[in-house]
Structure 1
Amino acid sequence: MKSVDDLLQLLRLEKVNDQQFKGFSKTVGSPNVFGGQVLAQAIHAASRTIHNQRVLHSMHSYFLEPGNLEVPIIYNVSIVRDGGSFSVRRVTAEQNGTTIFILSASFHRKEEGYNHQIEIKKDIKQPEDLLSWTDMLEQFGDAIPPRTKGFMLIDRPVEFKPVEVVNPFNKVDLPPATNVWFKLKGNVSGLDLVSKQQLLTYISDYNILAAAMNRHASKAHWGNTQTASLDHSMWYFRDFDFDDWLLYSIESPNTSNARGFAKGNIFTRDGKLIASVAQEGLMRPLK
């Protein structure tokens, strides 16, 4: 995938019936289905059953089994509730009759109320002053560890610019936090809110566990640690556009029992908080 059009095509599901949909997969460089893809496709399936113009405001999910890239994914949607203000959907994703993922999503009618948010970090480096993953490959490709380089070589519809670049050869523990600017490639004009939320959900599964890994960088890296998303939750606050860089600001409060926990906030460049994310992931040291 090289652009937002390719990603939108991946997220559009085939209708099997009114509450069942079929999706397909694209690799992001790992042997299993990317968690962000399943998240976004499940949100797409749930949204296809919403007919009262309510807007997604939160979702909570669990990854149960690794997804097979070669097998279609069937998304079954249960209509849990359509109340006066909220609609709730439950989605199960299956491959070959095995449930690999479950998600609950809540949709809310538009209402007026109180409004506040935390502020974006001050004095953070702007994307024009940073190298993208593509820039790093061009300038430092021979020095990047093979596994990381292989992951970075995959064509993506998103460009990432990390504010803090971790040197894998510098064995020093780092603060349990990371900040990454990101931007979609291609024409992003005319996207509706439903599509923007699905795209943002897809992107939210990138980079988040890096904050937990940073705290143990003196001994842990992607080559000697088994990692996988275990659960993923997201809250959607405000409408936004993809026409400029967005900032994903992530911190990790805890790692224990071979699991790492991280939470993140996603801001527009001018400081509008559009979503928050929380995830726990497997971080199992390999012997």
Structure 2
Amino acid sequence: MKELPATYWLTELLDVKVLDVDASENDEFLGHRLASSTGRVFGGQVLAQALMAASKTVSADKLVHSCHNYFIRPGDCDHDITYKVHRDLDGRNFSNRRVVALQNNKPIFNLIASFQGESDGYQHQIDMPADIPPPDNLLNENALAEKHKVSLPEHVYSMLNRYRSIEVRPINEEAHFLRSDKKLSQATWFKAKETLPNTASLHRAILAYATDLTLLSTSGRPHGMLWMDENVATASIDHTVWFHANDIKTDQWLLYLMDTPWSGNGRGLNRGSIFTQSGELVASVAQEGLIRIK
């Protein structure tokens, strides 16, 4: 598959292509490649492409309501990733899919996703905090990197100034690459930079992509640790997203509240709640990551 230019769109990156559909109902897709300063594929990209591949095998009246994901091996930006979809269930109300992401014939990522048709039921949700500043007057990560350039390692500053398809505006300037007070939580606003088509599966895949941008860094905050510190190794291990709302718009501002209830044994647990500006809870996230001391 082609390598996308530095100023890519998410609509391009997540446009996985059919490789093969056979009688055994195993579908294969190929994802576009994107260069990285580290040579590794961003985990959110693999997650989002796998979810798009699964969505292409499900009827349009069913939307993904949960996906459970395991990062097995780091992806290499120089090689194609094949997504093999297994159609485990197509019921009246639910469909279930398993996806294995393969690179050089080895699995690098597994996804299990459940899709559901629209249904009535009881409704409740937690409230969005009332003291969160709106995104309009906050600095995005590019502006914060420029503001704190003298304190950032050169390779980190360079990485932060590469084009990013998601704009992130941290609350209280507590970006994942800046040291702040030791605490158990952090928060950001985010949205896609491009105007997106009204395609539910695409918005859900982009939401999944964005959930992996900052969540892992939360478990380092209580210890004053940053993912770029030379004495630690960090990586996502498993990642789960529950989609609550039927209508999710990722080209509009969304609030990502993150907290970390525990860390130990070289791992950290992180949780997230995602709200619209009007206060609707549209998704919940949980992730366990590696935060091993070298």
TM-score when scaled to structure 2?
A: 0.90
Question: What do the CA deviations read for 1:8-58 (whole angstroms, capped 9, x no partner)?
Answer: 111111211121101132145433111000000000110111126211100
Once residues 169 and 244 of structure 1 are traced to their aligned partners in structure 2, the CA distance between those partners, rounded to angstroms, is 24
Aligned to 2:65, which of 57, 64, 75?
57
Q: CA 1:56/1:31 → structure 2, altered by over 3 Å: closer, same or farther?
A: same
- Paired residues, what number? 283
Contact 2:272 2:284 in 1 (8 A): yes
Question: What secondary structure, in the 3-state scheme, does the structure 1 residue paired with 2:172 have?
Answer: coil
Q: Structure 2 matches for 1:21-32, cutoff 5 A?
A: 21-27=29-35, 29-32=37-40
Question: What secondary structure, in the 3-state scheme, does the structure 1 residue paired with 2:102 have?
Answer: strand
Deviation, structure 1 residue 266: 0.7
Once residues 172 and 242 of structure 1 are traced to their aligned partners in structure 2, the CA distance between those partners, rounded to angstroms, is 28
Confirm whether residue 195 of structure 1 aligns to residue 202 of structure 2. yes
Q: CA 1:165/1:67 → structure 2, altered by over 3 Å: closer, same or farther?
A: same
Q: Give the letter for the 1:216 counterpart.
A: H
Aligned to 1:222, which of 204, 221, 228?
228
Once residues 219 and 131 of structure 2 are traced to their aligned partners in structure 1, the CA distance between those partners, rounded to angstroms, is 23
Once residues 127 and 269 of structure 2 are traced to their aligned partners in structure 1, the CA distance between those partners, rounded to angstroms, is 22
Confirm whether residue 102 of structure 1 aligns to residue 102 of structure 2. no
Deviation, structure 1 residue 220: 5.4
Moved over 6 A (4+): 167-172
Worse-matched range after superposition: 160-169 or 245-254: 160-169
Residue 17 (structure 2) aligns with: 14
Question: What do the CA deviations read for 1:57-116 (whole angstroms, capped 9, x no partner)?
Answer: 001010111111011001111111112211000000101110111110000111111111
Confirm whether residue 233 of structure 1 aligns to residue 233 of structure 2. no
Q: Give the letter for the 1:203 counterpart.
A: A
Q: CA 1:104/1:168 → structure 2, altered by over 3 Å: closer, same or farther?
A: closer
Deviation, structure 1 residue 209: 1.2
Contact 1:220 1:285 in 2 (8 A): no
Residue 251 (structure 1) aligns with: 259
Question: What secondary structure, in the 3-state scheme, does the structure 2 residue paired with 1:22 have?
Answer: strand
Residue 87 (structure 2) aligns with: 79
Runs of at least 5 residues in structure 2 that lack an aligned partner in the other structure: 22-26
Percent identical pairs in the alignment equals 36
Q: Give the letter for the 1:187 counterpart.
A: T
Once residues 177 and 252 of structure 2 are traced to their aligned partners in structure 1, the CA distance between those partners, rounded to angstroms, is 33
Contact 1:39 1:202 in 2 (8 A): yes
Question: What do the CA deviations read for 1:168-221 (whole angstroms, capped 9, x no partner)?
Answer: 999776111110011211223x3211110011111110100121110110x555
Q: CA 1:247/1:170 → structure 2, altered by over 3 Å: closer, same or farther?
A: closer
Residue 144 (structure 1) aligns with: 152
Once residues 46 and 170 of structure 1 are traced to their aligned partners in structure 2, the CA distance between those partners, rounded to angstroms, is 36
Q: CA 1:247/1:88 → structure 2, altered by over 3 Å: closer, same or farther?
A: same
Contact 1:173 1:216 in 2 (8 A): no
Confirm whether residue 91 of structure 1 aligns to residue 99 of structure 2. yes
Worse-matched range after superposition: 84-93 or 22-31: 22-31
Question: What secondary structure, in the 3-state scheme, does the structure 1 residue paired with 2:205 have?
Answer: helix
Q: CA 1:267/1:28 → structure 2, altered by over 3 Å: closer, same or farther?
A: farther
Runs of at least 5 residues in structure 1 that lack an aligned partner in the other structure: none
